[in-house]
Amino acid sequence: MSALTPLLLRGLTGSARRLLVPRAQVHSKPPREQLGVLDITIGLTSCFICCLLPAGWVLSHLESYKKRE
């Protein structure tokens, strides 16, 4: 590395140090009402059906997709 490299790098990063980035004002509160067992079961079941079932279908029928007919 040349002797000018640190000076060039300092010149590039010097302007970035002066930029102010706004911080997000995130505040959380406790839930208004607790979720019941039925709510959690319905949510997890819908996630399973929407995400894992199509992937399982494709993986189980992979051999038939490979065949060219």
The pLDDT assigned to 47 comes to 92
Using CA atoms, how far apart are residues 17 and 35, in angstroms rounded to an integer? 45
Token pair for residue 65?
């997709």
Would you say residue 40 lies in a domain? yes
The boundaries of the domain holding residue 50 are: 35-61
Per-residue pLDDT tens for 16-60? 566 677 777 888 888 889 999 999 999 999 999 999 999 999 999
Would you say residue 42 lies in a domain? yes
Using CA atoms, how far apart are residues 61 and 55, in angstroms rounded to an integer? 10
Would you say residue 9 lies in a domain? no
C-alpha 57 chain-centroid distance: 24
Would you say residue 52 lies in a domain? yes
Residue 33 corresponds to which amino acid?
E
Say yes or no to pLDDT of 2 above 90: no
Q: State the total domains in the chain.
A: 1
- The length of the chain is 69
